[in-house]
């Protein structure tokens, strides 16, 4: 399954609370500690993809990389 970059960018994690381990916008089991070494937290949410159902996106609130 491939997803257009543009679609991914519409999920900007703006509802997430940066630096909060108890972020309410995250899926169950998140946020998680990132291994980037900057005490970042990996946030995750389920995003609906047109025609393809759902995918889970995750991103560190410090380094910006997926978990």
Where along the sequence are the contacts to Zn ion (CB under 5 A)?
16, 23, 25-26, 34, 36, 40, 43, 60, 62-63
Q: How far is the CB of 10 from Zn ion (least distance, A)?
A: 17
Q: How far is the CB of 58 from Zn ion (least distance, A)?
A: 9
Q: Which is nearer to Zn ion, 2 or 14 (CB)?
A: 14
- Calpha distance 35→56 (Å, rounded): 19
- Calpha distance 10→13 (Å, rounded): 9
- Calpha distance 38→50 (Å, rounded): 35
Q: How far is the CB of 66 from Zn ion (least distance, A)?
A: 10
């Amino acid at each position: 399954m491939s997803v257009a970059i543009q679609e991914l960018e519409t999920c900007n994690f703006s509802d997430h609370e940066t630096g909060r381990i108890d972020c309410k916008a995250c899926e169950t089991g998140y946020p998680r500690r990132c291994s980037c070494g900057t005490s970042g937290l990996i946030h995750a949410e389920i995003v609906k993809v047109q025609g393809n159902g759902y995918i889970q996106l995750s991103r560190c609130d410090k380094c910006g990389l997926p978990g």
